Chain A
Amino acid sequence: MTKQAKAEKRSLRLAFGGRDVGVLVANILIAIVFSFLAGGYFSSYTLLLLLRQTSEVGIIAMAMTILIVCGEFDLSVGAIYAVVGIITGLLFQNFGVNLFLSATAAMVLALFLGYLNGLLITKTGMHSFIGTLATMMVFRGIAMVSTGGRPVSSLPKMPFFTIFGEGMIFDIIPVPILWLLAMCVFLFFILHKTSFGVKVFATGDNREAAELAGIDTITIKRYCFMLTAFSAGIVAFTSIGFLRTATPTQGQGLELEAIAAAVIGGTSMMGGVGSIFGSFLGALIMAQVRTGLVLMGTDAFVQDALVGLVIALAVIINVQLSKKNSV
């Protein structure tokens, strides 16, 4: 092969998922290590368990990836998740609204909250951290006030809950895994295959250049916030479906786990760089470390610390990789 063709091939690999390969390799290495350390780790049961565990953080991490690529992030996503669960449960249980209608209303509310986030950030130009920290507290307050802090529990068995959370396919695959995979395909398509995705990359990479190339970056950012809120709604449905309970405190810390998973997956907090598949694999790494440590019988307090170490390690490796790529 000529030198030029080689360089061409190399740069193609870098542009389309060079980093994803790194996260995939890391996943495999971690799996091998735990197979030796924890008995029974290497099995189809563990794989399903992992995917089931990844589903919540994974869905949000993938949507958050799109938001991070466009140059923002959302700390209020865990609170939106709580609001959707609570509102769905309340409308159904206390007001007797049809469950599908309740869920639809809660999802519309989630989209509205996402829109509010986008409006706040794009209108005032304040940093995502401050803006969504504020709305996180407000939204969490909405969830708490609407039930007086109590959970909405003992919901009856309904088809809606089966579809989103309780159901098993072939009596073995929990439906949340299906939702995870469906959202993965959907979000992958949005970010990597549509004009919207191209504009998201441009917006996060260089906002002024994007504006001068005729991209309405304000609208793009608002849609990204709404997309993240939408994913929080989907996750709220899988949770309420599985537990048949919604608590106003649920999802605390979910936003940070999602951001961590995205970053492990190679998403740059500076914007303009990231991939859906990478974030999916990033969430899987976090789930692997947690599950592996549990199977090894590690103390719960040690687990969090070790997950923290994994995040730091993953980011160090990513920075090294991207340095190498840019030369």
Chain B
Amino acid sequence: MAETILTIESVSKRFGATQALNNVSFNVEKSEVIGLAGENGSGKSTLIKILCGVHQADSGTVVFMGKAHAPESPSQAERAGISVFHQEIPICYNMSVAENVFLGNRMPVKRGMPDKKFMVLETKRLFRELLDEPIDATKLMRNCSVAERQMALLVRALRKSATLVILDEPTTALAPGEVQKLITIIRGLKNKSITFIFISHMMDELIEISDKVTVLRDGKVVGEFLRGGYNRDELASSIAGKTLDADKKKIRKLSDKIAIEVSNYRLDEQAEPINIAIKSGEIFGVAGLAGSGRSDIVRSLFGAPPAYDGQVKLYGEDISIKCPQDAIQQSIGYLPEDRKTMGLFYAQDVKFNLGIANLDQWIENGVVNLRKLKRLSEKFVGMFNIKMAGISSKITSLSGGNQQKILLSRWLAIQPKVLLMNEPTRGVDIGAKQEIKEIIRQMALEGVTFMIASAEIEELIALSDRILVMNTRAPNCILAGKEMTKEKIVEASA
């Protein structure tokens, strides 16, 4: 029997009217990888914040390495040996990898100056021993990839003798290849007696990496799945709390009208030309690895920025799109891949965020008409079942999934002929994912043409009528119907 390193015993936590955690208990064994799953608002983050000292539990006990664990600050938790990795990586971008690894109260010093040479050598050694990875330790953090930054943080935590590492959605910003590498690294460290709690919305990752997946819902533990003893659907319905309809796939009969046609379309000077014709009401997927041009082709059709050259026809008419204004003029919308940096207006309320792309619907002769904006917002809020206090709540008070639905509404409000999308369900929970897919299907039936770039292959297969696979900035093939399988897409991408 393995040694128990962390025991969580009937922990509860309440914020005002919300019972964030309700009698949560589970154990973590030494050198185990625990997957923690649950929708947004299920209590995952609250639990993590209690473990790392941001919040304190109202009742219940936590025992870590045989001692009661009730840290009052993150640094106290870190001293006890628990390290947490959040989605935003706290690093100094203008310092080298080595300096970041040694950042803290006690940097190695030689004659009163930081000992850079020692730090570089030591960092290289740590990378080799702990991660089995080479690294250029003198490289500035700003020039590193996300994966390298994560590794540097991991090394920093392990150097401070962390024994339990909590990874909060570490893979959202990583390319597929990098995800595999991270998984390999976690496996390697597991053999060096490091224990992990791994949080992710991606079920395949959870299944692949976890020895045990613990599912939280509404602040309670609702399921524990041991490796090998469950299938994907069981896990999914446990997370969502209801049986999700498996993505039923029908081959639809599409109209013969061509909505958007691009010819001799080149992303840059060297790129091979792309020729595609997308039918009216079609959902057209674009797959490919990061950097394959997958998201560039979608972005460029919105003019942000435009492609190198090529012709675009919208319902038979030549159009020229140089910037987003041109695209919107032609009733083309674009849902960007990063909600936080490219989509939301943080200081503003829900209705502002919803109405910003179609000002002419609620601004008459240059003057704001709030009643019209409210009516417009309420229409979409009702239609898409968006949960919030009201349309005048701050956008930040909404969950990720509901924020995404607001952004989707922003573009549907312009009554688009074509809606371009980049990662439409990134960072939203399973339930909201399902709802967003449903909205896309519904709108496609009503004649909106979709072009969707996504890294989530299953999602593309479930949604798309056809899928274009991009490979090194060139179109590789277009798959349709039964040909759209994960294997074929992966094969065509690599």
**CB-defined interface of B333-348 with A at 8 Å, one 1/0 digit per residue?**
0101000011111111
- Stretch binding the partner chain, chosen from A5-13, A254-262, A295-303: A5-13
Chain A contact residues, majority secondary structure: helix
Are B347 and A214 in contact (CB-based, < 8 A)? Answer: no
A292 interface residue, CB < 8 Å from B?
Answer: no
Q: Which residues of B contact A193 (CB under 8 A)?
A: 367-368
Q: How far is the CA of A62 from the CA of B325 in the complex (A)?
A: 30
Are A208 and B341 in contact (CB-based, < 8 A)? Answer: yes
Are B345 and A8 in contact (CB-based, < 8 A)? Answer: no
Are B357 and A11 in contact (CB-based, < 8 A)? Answer: no
A304 interface residue, CB < 8 Å from B?
Answer: no
A1 interface residue, CB < 8 Å from B?
Answer: no
Are B389 and A8 in contact (CB-based, < 8 A)? Answer: yes
Are A206 and B344 in contact (CB-based, < 8 A)? Answer: yes
Which residues 181-239 of A sit at the B interface, judged by CB distance below 8 A?
Answer: 192-199, 201-202, 205-206, 208-216
Closest Cβ of chain B to A42, distance in Å, is 37
A268 interface residue, CB < 8 Å from B?
Answer: yes
Given A7-B389, A15-B349, are A213 and B356 also a contact pair (CB < 8 Å)? yes
Given A8-B390, A8-B392, are A209 and B348 also a contact pair (CB < 8 Å)? no
B382 interface residue, CB < 8 Å from A?
Answer: no
Q: How far is the CA of A11 from the CA of B366 in the complex (A)?
A: 26
A77 interface residue, CB < 8 Å from B?
Answer: no
B194 interface residue, CB < 8 Å from A?
Answer: no
B363 interface residue, CB < 8 Å from A?
Answer: yes
Q: Which residues of B contact A197 (CB under 8 A)?
A: 368
A272 interface residue, CB < 8 Å from B?
Answer: yes
Q: Which residues of A contact B359 (CB under 8 A)?
A: 195, 198-199
Q: How far is the CA of A215 from the CA of B280 in the complex (A)?
A: 28
Q: Which residues of B contact A215 (CB under 8 A)?
A: 356
Given A198-B359, A201-B352, are A208 and B389 also a contact pair (CB < 8 Å)? no
Which of B325, B336, B394, B410 is within 8 Å of A326, CB to CB?
Answer: B394
Q: Which residues of B contact A213 (CB under 8 A)?
A: 324, 356-357, 410
Q: Which residues of A contact B336 (CB under 8 A)?
A: 209, 212
Given A193-B367, A195-B359, A214-B324, are A11 and B394 also a contact pair (CB < 8 Å)? yes
Are A214 and B357 in contact (CB-based, < 8 A)? Answer: yes
Which of A8, A196, A208, A272 is within 8 Å of B348, CB to CB?
Answer: A272
Q: How far is the CA of A211 from the CA of B326 in the complex (A)?
A: 12
B275 interface residue, CB < 8 Å from A?
Answer: no
Are B356 and A198 in contact (CB-based, < 8 A)? Answer: yes
Are A7 and B390 in contact (CB-based, < 8 A)? Answer: yes
Q: How far is the CA of A11 from the CA of B397 in the complex (A)?
A: 11
Are B366 and A202 in contact (CB-based, < 8 A)? Answer: no
A4 interface residue, CB < 8 Å from B?
Answer: yes
Are B334 and A206 in contact (CB-based, < 8 A)? Answer: no
Given A195-B359, A206-B345, A272-B346, are A326 and B390 also a contact pair (CB < 8 Å)? no
Q: Which residues of B contact A209 (CB under 8 A)?
A: 336, 341-345
Are A194 and B368 in contact (CB-based, < 8 A)? Answer: yes
**CB-defined interface of A3-40 with B at 8 Å, one 1/0 digit per residue?**
01001100110110000000000000000000000000
Q: Chain A residue with minimal CB distance to B328? A: A214
Q: How far is the CA of A212 from the CA of B366 in the complex (A)?
A: 21
Which of A15, A205, A326 is within 8 Å of B345, CB to CB?
Answer: A205
Q: Which residues of B contact A214 (CB under 8 A)?
A: 324-325, 327-328, 357
B75 interface residue, CB < 8 Å from A?
Answer: no
Q: Which residues of B contact A205 (CB under 8 A)?
A: 345-348
Q: Which residues of A contact B356 (CB under 8 A)?
A: 198, 202, 210, 213, 215
Are B392 and A12 in contact (CB-based, < 8 A)? Answer: yes
Which of B304, B346, B368, B393 is within 8 Å of A212, CB to CB?
Answer: B304
Closest Cβ of chain B to A188, distance in Å, is 12
Which residues 242-275 of A sit at the B interface, judged by CB distance below 8 A?
Answer: 268, 272-273
Q: How far is the CA of A272 from the CA of B323 in the complex (A)?
A: 23
B396 interface residue, CB < 8 Å from A?
Answer: yes
Closest Cβ of chain B to A194, distance in Å, is 5
Q: How far is the CA of A268 from the CA of B346 in the complex (A)?
A: 13
Closest Cβ of chain B to A81, distance in Å, is 29
Q: How far is the CA of A156 from the CA of B304 in the complex (A)?
A: 58
Q: How far is the CA of A12 from the CA of B389 in the complex (A)?
A: 11
Residue of B324, B327, B343, B345 ringed by the most chain A CB atoms within 10 A: B345
Q: How far is the CA of A249 from the CA of B328 in the complex (A)?
A: 48
**CB-defined interface of A288-327 with B at 8 Å, one 1/0 digit per residue?**
0000000000000000000000000000000000000110
Q: How far is the CA of A257 from the CA of B368 in the complex (A)?
A: 31
**CB-defined interface of B42-86 with A at 8 Å, one 1/0 digit per residue?**
000000000000000000000000000000000000000000000
Closest Cβ of chain B to A258, distance in Å, is 21
Given A195-B366, A214-B324, are A272 and B347 also a contact pair (CB < 8 Å)? yes
Which residues 137-158 of A sit at the B interface, judged by CB distance below 8 A?
Answer: none
Closest Cβ of chain A to B371, distance in Å, is 13
Which of A14, A196, A211, A216 is within 8 Å of B366, CB to CB?
Answer: A196
**CB-defined interface of B352-390 with A at 8 Å, one 1/0 digit per residue?**
100011010001001110000000000000000000011
Q: How far is the CA of A121 from the CA of B341 in the complex (A)?
A: 22
Closest Cβ of chain B to A104, distance in Å, is 25
Which of A14, A199, A212 is within 8 Å of B342, CB to CB?
Answer: A212
Q: Chain B residue with minimal CB distance to A69? A: B347
Given A15-B349, A206-B344, A214-B325, are A195 and B390 also a contact pair (CB < 8 Å)? no
Are A11 and B392 in contact (CB-based, < 8 A)? Answer: yes
Q: How far is the CA of A202 from the CA of B394 in the complex (A)?
A: 14
Are B348 and A201 in contact (CB-based, < 8 A)? Answer: yes
Given A12-B392, A198-B359, are A208 and B347 also a contact pair (CB < 8 Å)? no
Are B352 and A198 in contact (CB-based, < 8 A)? Answer: yes
Q: Chain B residue with minimal CB distance to A205? A: B345
Which of B343, B345, B393 is within 8 Å of A201, CB to CB?
Answer: B345
Residue of A8, A195, A208, A272 ringed by the most chain B CB atoms within 10 A: A195
Are A206 and B346 in contact (CB-based, < 8 A)? Answer: yes
Are A272 and B328 in contact (CB-based, < 8 A)? Answer: no
Which of B342, B349, B357 is within 8 Å of A208, CB to CB?
Answer: B342
Are A4 and B390 in contact (CB-based, < 8 A)? Answer: yes
Q: How far is the CA of A234 from the CA of B71 in the complex (A)?
A: 59
Closest Cβ of chain B to A190, distance in Å, is 10
Are A11 and B410 in contact (CB-based, < 8 A)? Answer: no
**Besides the contacts A8-B389, A193-B368, what 16 more A-B pairs have beta carbons closer than 8 Å?**
A8-B390, A8-B392, A11-B394, A12-B392, A195-B363, A195-B366, A201-B352, A202-B356, A205-B348, A208-B341, A209-B342, A209-B344, A212-B334, A212-B343, A214-B357, A216-B325
Q: What are 22 A-B pairs at a CB distance below 8 A?
A: A11-B393, A11-B394, A12-B390, A15-B392, A15-B394, A193-B368, A194-B363, A194-B366, A194-B368, A195-B359, A195-B368, A199-B359, A201-B348, A202-B352, A205-B348, A206-B342, A210-B345, A212-B334, A212-B343, A214-B325, A272-B348, A273-B347
Interface residues of B (CB under 8 A from A): 302, 304, 323-325, 327-328, 334, 336, 341-349, 352, 356-357, 359, 363, 366-368, 389-390, 392-394, 396, 410
